[in-house]
Amino acid sequence: MDEFALSRRAFAAQAAALGAALAFGPASAHAMTGARSERRDLFPQGVASGDPRADSVILWTRRAPDGDAASHRLTVEVASDPGFRNIDARGDVAITAATDWTCRFLAAGLKPAREYWYRFIDEAGNTSRVGRTLTAPADDDDRPVKFAFVSCQDVTQGALNAYRRMLFEDARRSRDEQLGFVLHLGDFLYELVWYAEERPGGMERGRRLRDIVRYPTGEKVSTFHIPADLDDYRTAYRGYLLDPDLQEARAQWPFVPVWDNHEFNWRSYQSQQIINGEIRPAQTLKVAASQAWYEYQPARVRKPGSGDPFEAPAVENRPLAELDARGVGLEPNNLAAITALQIQRAFRYGKNVDMILTDNRSFGSPGGNYEGLPEIRFAAMPEQMLEILDQAREYAGGSPPAVIRVGDDIEFPNPHVDAPPEAYLGLDQMAWFKDRLRAARAPWKIWGHSFGTLTGRTDPQNLPAEFADQWPAGAGYGVTTGAYGLEHGEVFDMVRDEGITGFTIVAGDRHAFWAGYPSKTLPPRAFDPVGVEFVTGSISAQTLGEVQQLTMPKDRPLRALNIHDKPDGSMACSWNMTLMHGVQSSLVLRETGDPAQARAARNPELAPHLKFLDYAGHGYTTVRASKDELETEFVCIPIPLERSETDDGGPLVYRVAHRVSLWRPGERPVLRQEILEGDPGLAI
């Protein structure tokens, strides 16, 4: 058997494992003859590519069905030129309603670090739009790696101007400096949908509602609607992918996607929904959400069956009873549902980047009971109180206190003495993650994380005496984001103890830009950074800063900690300053209006782990990784209320770079910040 045949067999096996058809070599399918015409209307969700490797990439489209057609036959052509004079790969496949008329091809036998163009052709000669994709560099290619990472796009309440800006800027770069891929860290869609006619003036919290997703079945919960079956999830993807800017981005770059929570259910864990505070078993819905994600995301993931259709496991909706040590329910239907689609994966991208992607939602523990806790008026939880509740029965090496004491005057029985800790990786995935991290040999070991690990905390113990009722005396620091301490500590200990350098976390979900250093503990305990972390702002989903400005009463006693009211009537997000510099800084800002004076009043112990924080920022982040330096750029745009009328996606608020040189074992990473454009205001 010749080398060509051996390669084809190897790629065919890969394609079968991925549930994809094979496109390989120009002779892999019969050459198409006859006239062809581009009919984008027949491919209404566009084209896409994903998960590039040095020799292959996944290609995707959806061919809308013709009337009562039982199937369509599609051919894909991959060429090294946009005119398709030189066909490098071709393949064909029949598509049906079993995949909602979508198809996935593994375009294989390609060359590394190359531009390719692709299109889909139906049996009548109608073609999709042309897509462009890029293969990964070879493992020994030491040229810098450049990619973008994004998250949180809600097309029903905002425009995707961030993609327009990304497209505009990338087209003006030299080929060597263009993006190689887009890492999508989840919340590709929002399953919560408000219908315009049901909301006053067709608005929701200051945003115009678009009639893009309307569930065929659905369920109304409070004022919004959520999916109730597979067709509902498919409907959401079909609606989202009609957006022209999202289509253009997916046609321009390969995407590397993972999910966050909204691809299944906003309030959920494993296969269980939380609806109006009640836990609802939802194994069948979890499987449906996973199937729709698989059908619409070109990714190298593991699914049931070897063909293209997702062979959904038969599951029943059952409550969880027995839990393992990290809170994963051992009920068989739950295990079948949460492992039906396995999206965790790792890959090498050239010589400078090892990427590890985890599933942070399917294995999340149920969490303990946080009802009936002592009432604290300030919007934070005392740090030690949160750690005890968060780590539950694993606190202090498995010796949690029976009574939790908060400050000078509060004590109450510990409700989590026997509860599993808050966790999201699960035992098996944690072991896999550690193995992949240990095996990584590239200078930069990048963890693609859907929601990030950096802690947000405040110092309400430093509030003036007139606000003594807001915070328990002696309670110390308050935490706003800081759960999952057990798992994060386990990872960070390993990174430190094994001398792993170049450890970098890129994350989304928070609807905010963050830059800083992951550390197991913060002052007054040890501050021991083990890497660097960057969180990107949302593409379009509302930020905390926007919501607070729309909803917070003017006479709220501590409004200044959240909103800086300027003399001209405009507002800025001072919550950034409160978390980075402390309550005194935000109060000085209210009195003086001078950010420099406010920063001079900062509490240096509060946030040595934070270099940048903007809870009002939309946009995306780029990464450039060379052998000895990693650089990110936060590209922030104004609130995307409506689609920009200009090709550049509209103006920028700011562009801020953070650079870090590769550190040696035992050294601390050091971020260097540079404002390249605009004004980040209170984010520094």
DSSP secondary structure of 403-436: EEEETTTEEEE-TTTTSPPP-SSHHHHHHHHHHH
Residue 263 falls inside a structural domain: no
Q: Indicate which CATH number applies to the domain containing 99.
A: 2.60.40.380
Task: Tell which residue, 537, 386, 523, 510, has the closest CA to residue 453.
Answer: 510
Q: Are strands 203-204 and 182-184 parallel, antiparallel or unpaired?
A: unpaired
Residue 368 confidence class, pLDDT cut points 50, 70, 90: confident
Q: Does 305 have pLDDT greater than 90?
A: no
Domain for residue 381, yes or no? Answer: no
Per the structure block, which two tokens stand in for 408? 């000078």
CA–CA dist 356, 531 (Å, integer): 15
DSSP 8-state class, residue 31: P
Quick check: is 412 in a domain? no
List residues bridging with 573 in a β-sheet: 563
pLDDT confidence of 372, banded at 50, 70, 90? confident
Owner of token pair 């489209």 = 61
H helices of 401-525, in order, are: 426-439, 485-497
Q: Is residue 28 predicted with pLDDT exceeding 50?
A: no
pLDDT at 29: 44
pLDDT digits (tens, 9 = 90+) for 138-159: 999 999 999 999 999 999 999 9
Instruction: Quote the Cα angle for 514-299-449, to 5°.
Output: 20
**Strands 131-134, 115-121: parallel, antiparallel or unpaired by DSSP?**
antiparallel
Mean pLDDT for the stretch of residues 164-193: 97
Asked if 312 contacts 289 with a C-beta cutoff of 8 angstroms, the reply is no
* pLDDT average, residue stretch 431-450: 98
**pLDDT band for position 234 (cuts 50, 70, 90):** very high
List, as one string, the DSSP characters of 576-615.
HHHHHT-HHHHHHHHHH--HHHHHHT--TTT-TTEEEEET
CA angle 186, 190, 194 (to 5 degrees): 165
Identify any residues that bridge with 126 across adjacent strands, giving them in sequence order. 37
Listed range (24-28, 49-53, 133-137, 585-589) with the worst mean pLDDT: 24-28
Q: What is the mean pLDDT of the chain?
A: 96
In this structure, of 18-27, 93-102, 199-208, 449-458, the range with the lowest mean pLDDT score is 18-27
Q: Is the pLDDT of residue 367 over 90?
A: no
- Looking at residues 635-664, what average pLDDT do you find? 98
pLDDT of residue 3: 59
pLDDT of residue 8: 85
Over residues 408-427, mean pLDDT = 96
* pTM (whole model) above 0.95: yes
Each residue of 566-584: pLDDT tens digit?
Answer: 999 999 999 999 999 999 9
Structure tokens at 498: 């094994």
Confidence of residue 7 (pLDDT cuts 50, 70, 90): confident
Per-residue pLDDT, 434: 98
- Return the sign of the alpha-carbon dihedral for residues 437, 442, 447, 453: positive
Number of domains in the chain: 1
Tell how strand 102-108 and strand 21-24 pair up: parallel
pLDDT at 33: 57
pLDDT of residue 132: 98
Query: Does residue 581 lie in a domain region?
Result: no
Look at residue 610 and tell me whether its pLDDT is greater than 50: yes
Q: Is 369 exposed, middle or buried (0-12, 13-18, 19+ CB in 10 A)?
A: exposed
Residue 108 lies in a domain: yes
What's the pLDDT score for residue 4? 60
Taking residues 302-330, what's their average pLDDT? 93
- Please report whether residue 486 resides in a domain: no
Instruction: Give dist(CA 299, CA 290) in Å, integer.
Output: 13
Looking at residue 371, what is its pLDDT? 84
CA–CA separation, 642 and 77 (whole Å):
36
**What's the average model confidence in pLDDT over 642-649?**
97
Is residue 6 very low, low, confident or very high in pLDDT (cuts 50, 70, 90)?
A: low
247-295 pLDDT tens trace: 999 999 999 999 999 999 999 999 999 999 899 999 999 999 999 999 9
Residues 475, 461: Cα–Cα separation, whole Å: 7
Joined tokens for residue 33: 């003859």
The confidence score (pLDDT) of residue 97 equals 97
Q: Which residues contact 69 (CB under 8 A, 6 or more apart)?
A: none
* Confidence band for 93, pLDDT divided at 50, 70 and 90: very high
pLDDT of residue 255: 98
What's the one-letter identity of residue 193?
V
Q: Is 17 or 518 the better-scoring residue by pLDDT?
A: 518
pLDDT recorded at residue 32: 56
Domain ranges, residue 28: 1-136
- Identify the band that residue 26 occupies on the pLDDT scale cut at 50, 70 and 90: confident
Q: What is the pLDDT of residue 31?
A: 52
Averaged pLDDT for residues 419-432: 97
